[in-house]
Amino acid sequence: MNPSHPATGSTPLLSTRFGLRIVALFLALAILLVTVAVQVYRAVGEFVEASDWVAHTMEVEQEIVATIASLRDAEASQRAFVISGSAERLADHHGALPRIGDHQARLAGLVANNPQQAANVQALSGLLDRRLAGMREILDLFEREGIAAMRTSAPVQRSRDEDAAIEAAARRMLAIEDQLLAERRARTDDKAMLTRLLTIGAVISCIIILGAALVFVLREQARRLRSEGRVRSTNEELTHSLDESQRLGRTLRQLGELGEMLQGCRSPAEATTGLAVALPQLLPRMSGSISLINSSQNLVETVAAWGEAGTAGEGLFAPDDCWALRRGQAYPPAGVVPPFRCRHLPATAGADSRAHLCIPLLAQGSMLGIMTLVADEPADAAERAVAVATAEQVSMALANLRLQETLRTQSLRDPLTGLFNRRYLEASLDRELQRSARGKQPLSVLMLDIDHFKRFNDTHGHDAGDALLAQFGALLARSVRSEDVACRYGGEEFTILLHETDAEQAVERAEQICAAVRTLDVQHRRQTLGPVTVSIGIATAPRDGNAPDELLHSADRALYAAKHGGRDQARLAA
């Protein structure tokens, strides 16, 4: 027998084994890639779904806040009508009532898929209906018997309990939404961790598979070139897939962190300060700025900027200077050479007219401003998608912060005078008394009452009375220090808390206010309404009491003495 026969017969066997091994290796690699791709695709879907649920939760919370804000508008306009008798305030009250129903309906639609929240919405609706019924009873009682009967009526007393119940129901709903949001974030974090582990495992497995393939290639010299090309192509695809996966995961994580940061902010100014730091990391290839429209809707002001081109833009410009604000959508459109250039862009924004991108900041149908991005070359589809998603998140956060600021202002300020209201006084007085007791410092209370205000109203009308109250409140705001607290106590009565002020100093401050009021020139409809004077009662802790009720009662007695002593004077509590 020819001794070469065994060697000749072993070549096909060796090739067959090599082919089977290569096929098995690349089949395992393909399965691994498909598994990683499916997992990444599922993770992306879950991330997107989590973002949608986050947006849904924020929308539910906004509707809850808007419902309470509408109720507060109705209450404030009702109180303004009772105080001033103005038909315009009554019209404001009736105009605010339909908005409460609209917000209730939208809130019910948003939580229809959540039985617990749907039940809470039903309970909240019942409380709101009872509160609205109580408001109607108060108006009816006021029209029949006047303000004195209304102040001691059962509906007025009951409204406080109803307000507390409404606030508690709203807080319960907000707490449930926050809990749902936390659970969804936890699930998203778990899925992200699993994706990272699978990716790391896939990388290690691929390295092992490629190493085995290299060994087989060395053993089979005849098939080396084709095997090397296959491994190189597979490696490039794997690297590209891993790069895309990591970039997408990094972008989603940064968007999530941006959303968490914005939710933790307490004011639009705080949010814009954080955006100037966070956005360069999210959009590293671009300079840019965030610009917001002012309350008059006639100017756009840049509130945050990053990068050389972003800080070189116009800090203040008209809304018509930006085509994105005119069109209500991103400008220029993707892949289109824009026929016009926004006038607010810096002169160094790049030679390519497509290298800038203006994205309007829209939330619930309101135009808040724009996000302007500038780069050396046009953004690709992925960068554009990230920019649009970022703008949507920024818009929602800024709208929510503005709504929270409005709600805080309405709950603490008197709408006519701009001073703090009685609720704020009652909450502050006890705290300030404790602080003054700890520091062993005096605290004085001034109780002020405009002299002959009823006669002034009867002579000049309620509109003139409102003008007097507004100008008197502005005078008090100018007359107090930044650490003092000026409040409208009710009607024509006002209260001032003077920190670290003893009785002698309080009397001096009160006499200064009396002198300033005498020079007050009240103008209404281009007419001077005559001289105005004020009577002031003064009480000082701990001399006249250590409890809020005692101190206010002492100041009220002193005010009564000032009234009966001839008015236009300040009296210290006996």
Question: 518-557, pLDDT tens digit by residue?
Answer: 988 887 777 777 789 999 999 999 888 888 999 999 999 9
Distance CA 240, CA 166 (A): 55
Per-position DSSP letters for 516-545, written without gaps between them:
HHHT---EETTEE-----EEEEEEEETTT-
- Higher per-residue pLDDT: 231 or 532: 532
Task: Report which residue type is found at 490.
Answer: G
Q: For 232-246, 256-270, 426-440, which range has the lowest pLDDT when averaged over its residues?
A: 256-270
**pLDDT tens, 369-378?**
888 888 877 7
| Sequence-distant (≥ 6) Cβ neighbours of residue 134 within 8 angstroms | 155, 158, 159, 162
Per-position DSSP letters for 458-496, written without gaps between them:
HHH-HHHHHHHHHHHHHHHHHHS-TTSEEEEEETTEEEE
Distance CA 115, CA 106 (A): 16
Residue 16 has pLDDT above 90, yes or no: no
| Sequence-distant (≥ 6) Cβ neighbours of residue 316 within 8 angstroms | 299, 300, 301, 302
492 flagged as catalytic: yes
3-state SS, residue 357 = strand
Task: Report which residue type is found at 127.
Answer: L
How high is the mean pLDDT of the chain?
Answer: 79
Beta bridge partners, 488, equal 494
- Quick one: pLDDT band at residue 7, thresholds 50, 70, 90? very low
CA geometry: angle at 73 spanning 67 and 78, to 5°? 130
Residue 3 has pLDDT above 60, yes or no: no
Distance CA 114, CA 108 (A): 10
Distance CA 371, CA 387 (A): 9
**pLDDT tens, 419-431?**
888 888 888 888 8
Helix pair angle (115-145, 87-110), 10° resolution: 170
Q: Indicate which residue of 167, 492, 493, 500 is catalytic.
A: 492
**pLDDT tens, 280-311?**
777 877 888 888 888 778 888 888 888 775 56
Torsion on CA atoms 449, 455, 459, 464, rounded to nearest 10: 20
Helix (H) or strand (E) holding 499: strand 493-499
Strands 443-450 and 493-499: antiparallel
